[in-house]
Amino acid sequence: MQPVTFIQVYRGIYKKYFNIKRQTSIRTMEYDKVIADPIHGMMTFEPYLMKIINHPHFQRLRHIKQLQGVEHVYPGGVHSRFSHCLGVCYLAGIVLDKLEKKTKNTDYEITDLDRKCVTISALCHNIGHGPFSYLYERLSREIDSDPFEHVARSVEITQSIIDDDSLKLFEDKTERTDAKTIIENMLKGKKVEEMTAKEQKKAFLYQIVKNNDNGVDVNRWDFISRDSHACGFMSNFDSNRAVSGLRVVSYKKEGIDANVLAFPFKDEIHLYNMFHLRFTLYSKVYYHTVVKCVEEMITDVFKLVDEIKILNTKENSISTKECRSHGAIENFCLMDDKLLYLIYHADDTSFKKPEKLKHAHAIAIMDRIHNRDFYFCIYKKQLDSSEKVGRLLEEINKRSETDNSIRGRFRFNIAEVNYGNGNKNPIKNVYFYSKGGDSVIEYKQPVNSPMVPQCFEEITLRVICTIRKKDWDSSGSEDELKTQIDSFFENVFNQQ
């Protein structure tokens, strides 16, 4: 009998206490990778996931912040899309482990292909983000005739990785084709009513990563926990509690016969906590006034240099506008948050005169950011209805183009902060089941309950001033600026 070595004892203890599985039907003899995380602890990833994680397109997410300009208000908010994607993938695996036991020997049993598709979707759901995440997407909507959209770009990049024969993610070509279609629908968050009868049989798989039916998914679970932790907010939402009650149940409605993810009715308050924490993060962090001012400055920098050839490929120099064009995946993946550094330190000797002026202006704005000389909010107004927002913005932009007192000096920002379902109760869309039940039960909202908010949305109009505070003497006092703004919006609101 061979003596037991220290390594064997160590591996045994490690496997027992961290619950690390070594091999399943879809795994090879390679060991899983263990990654430590401040939110979820020891996370395990299967070899096929590590192939994607180690791919250059995914490693690029290390250099894209999850929270754009938030670090200028909450110094801890500097984590990346990379860590968020790992967390989402890990949670998706936990959910699958839970559901595998309950769906075994049913006509909607989770297969090896299902598991691969869900975990790859979870891992790559943010792989299509540009520099500074949603900020760059908003910029594209403002200046591009065919705007870049991170979900569509995530699909493109993920499919290019799957098609990489060197990774051998799917050995069979038919399986690969099927997987690409399934993953695309998962990344886009296909709703139950949009699914085919075949897809409805496993509708719950499409609700794990991006649940557009009710907004309860592992993506939100991770960013709520991770962003709260980074910004110093106490989180009373526990994803483990949410997973523990998950069950696949039958949901039948006109034209729909699906198996969906549902929660026990006793988890109603716990899910309210999740939606309320989401609201808190949006109002206090993502849409914080100073954060929005900084983001407006970064957006102005990107606009100024958008057509300047500032990035270098193996063959030539290209602009950020060219990198955004559809299909240019390799060029797009050149861009991350280091873009600001490249702009600041770019050699302008080869630039034309108009480009030099724009570049100098961009550097001046970045110097203001470094010196915390931010744009500032000079006007704020609470709006009543989201229905008027589109018309209001249209009228504001139209009038600001002709009003010399406003043109070029102000940015208009509308913050729509809600629980995830507009001004409606988000819990109404969540699927619940009763104890011992195997089908969705109708949710009945308590009448005049003090635990249930009466309003679920706040809409705020902010006017952000680009003038330096120290330059007020040359452009008018603060009171004069406010008078101009009040007069401008009095005319705008009178037209509504």
Task: Give the three-class secondary structure for 393.
Answer: helix
Contacts of 40 (CB under 8 A, 6+ apart): 87, 90, 91
Same domain? For 206 and 78 the reply is yes
Burial (CB count within 10 angstroms: exposed 0-12, middle 13-18, buried 19+), residue 187: buried
- Does residue 412 sit within a domain? yes
- Does residue 475 sit within a domain? yes
Same domain? For 100 and 216 the reply is yes
- List beta partners, residue 377: 464
Mark which of 269, 288, 307 sits at the end of a domain: 288
Same domain? For 278 and 398 the reply is no
- Does residue 58 sit within a domain? yes
Same domain? For 396 and 273 the reply is no
Report CA 487 to chain centroid distance, whole Å: 38
Query: Is residue 366 within 8 Å of residue 339, measured between CB atoms?
Result: no
Mark which of 271, 288, 305 sits at the end of a domain: 288
- Does residue 419 sit within a domain? yes
Same domain? For 261 and 384 the reply is no
- Give the tens place of pLDDT for each residue, 258-315: 999 999 988 888 898 999 999 999 999 999 999 999 999 999 999 999 999 888 887 7
State how many domains the chain has. 2
Same domain? For 401 and 264 the reply is no
Same domain? For 103 and 204 the reply is yes
- Give the tens place of pLDDT for each residue, 169-181: 998 889 999 999 9
Same domain? For 278 and 380 the reply is no
- Does residue 32 sit within a domain? yes
- Does residue 232 sit within a domain? yes
Same domain? For 278 and 397 the reply is no
- Give the tens place of pLDDT for each residue, 40-82: 999 999 999 999 999 999 999 999 999 989 999 999 999 999 9
Q: In this structure, what CATH number is given to the domain that contains residue 82?
A: 1.10.3210.10
Mark which of 260, 288, 316 sits at the end of a domain: 288
pLDDT at 388 over 50: yes
pTM score, whole prediction: 0.89
pLDDT bucket at 17, cuts 50 / 70 / 90: very low
Same domain? For 231 and 99 the reply is yes
Q: What would the mean pLDDT of 11-35 be, rounded to a whole number?
A: 56
Same domain? For 257 and 382 the reply is no
Report pLDDT for 32: 87
Query: Is residue 400 within 8 Å of residue 417, measured between CB atoms?
Result: no
- Does residue 322 sit within a domain? no
CA distances from 495 to 173, 387, 392, 410, 413 (A): 60, 15, 9, 20, 19
pLDDT bucket at 394, cuts 50 / 70 / 90: confident
């970045």: which residue's tokens? 366
What is the C-alpha to C-alpha distance for residues 151 and 209, in angstroms, rounded to an integer? 13
Query: Is residue 462 within 8 Å of residue 376, measured between CB atoms?
Result: no
Domain boundaries, position 485: 375-496
- Does residue 19 sit within a domain? no
pLDDT at 434 over 50: yes
Same domain? For 162 and 52 the reply is yes
